[in-house]
Amino acid sequence: MIKELIVVEGRDDTVAVQRAVEADTIETGGSAINETVYRQIELAQKRRGVIILTDPDHAGERLRRLIAARVPGCKQAFLSREETTKGNDIGVENASPEAIRRALANVKTDWATEEGEVTWADLMNAGLIVHPQASARRMEVGKRLGIGYANGKQFYKRCRMFQISRDEFERATEDLDK
């Protein structure tokens, strides 16, 4: 049984999570989260802890940012687009139980750091920003680091929030050009 409550977007996500692990979930009802759900997540965070597991699409990432901003200290689990895509549908409900277990085994804790070890210049030198294939490169590095896909600014913020060390970053980016 996973101690923390897992925040997902909907009922189908809950079913997928419960096929993979024994856990309780809080469903946001999609990206239009309301005050009642925020209060449930805040209470869950105080009593048991929270893991955010949303779809790797624009709406899911927006929801993840809203919850993390409102409820500090949440853990976050990430699934890649490849793991969650079925036809034209992207969602946690499409992920295999193995992919969900792997994401939950690699949760990241949301820490506000003073100065992140990974710098903006590191992202630039690795071709994760200001590069013709920056988006695809960030997707691959985000998968390797277990922090998911994000635009350049959000990727930098996640590296700092999750205290990604320069060594981890370098290992994740070292063979991108091969």
Q: In this structure, what CATH number is given to the domain that contains residue 16?
A: 3.40.1360.10
> Same domain, yes or no, for 93 and 13?
yes
Q: HEC string of 7-32?
A: EECCHHHHHHHHHHCCCCEEECCCCC
CB 128 within 8 A of CB 112: no
Binned at pLDDT 50, 70 and 90, residue 110 comes out as low
Q: Extract the tokens encoding 141.
A: 């590095």
Domain count, the chain: 2
pLDDT per residue over 52-102, tens digit each?
A: 999 999 999 999 989 988 898 899 999 999 999 999 999 999 999 999 999
Residue 93 shares a structural domain with residue 122: no
Identify the residue whose tokens are 């105080």: 46
Same domain, 87 and 115: no
Are both 75 and 4 inside the same structural domain? Answer: yes
pTM of the model: 0.73
Residue 113 has a pLDDT of 45
Distance of CA 9 to the CA centre of its chain: 13
Verify that 76 and 141 share a domain, yes or no. no
> Could you read off the pLDDT of 34-47 as tens digits, one per residue?
999 999 999 999 99
101 in the same domain as 22:
yes
Residues 38 and 119 placed together within one structural domain of the fold: no
User: Final residue of a domain: which of 86, 110, 134?
Assistant: 110
The verdict on 130 and 151 lying in the same domain is: yes
Of the pLDDT bands very low, low, confident and very high (cuts 50, 70, 90), residue 177 is confident
Question: Which residue, 63, 85, 110, sits at the end of a domain?
Answer: 110
Asked if residue 100 and residue 39 are part of one domain, the reply reads: yes
For residue 33, count other CB atoms closer than 10 A to its CB: 18
Secondary structure of the chain as H, E, C letters: CCCCEEEECCHHHHHHHHHHCCCCEEECCCCCCCHHHHHHHHHHHHHCCEEECCCCCHHHHHHHHHHHHHCCCCEECCCCHHHHEECCEECHHHCCHHHHHHHHHCCEECCCCCCCCCCHHHHHHCCCCCCCCHHHHHHHHHHHHCCCCCCHHHHHHHHHHCCCCHHHHHHHHCCCCC
Domain containing residue 69: 1-110
Amino acid 166: pLDDT: 87
Distance, in Å, from the CA atom of 160 to the CA atom of 139, rounded to the nearest integer, reads 17
- Within this chain, do residues 99 and 44 fall inside the same structural domain, yes or no? yes
Distances 124 to 37, 44, 138, 164, 166 between C-alpha atoms, Å: 38, 38, 11, 16, 14
**Same domain as 148, residue 100:** no
Q: Are residues 14 and 91 in the same domain?
A: yes
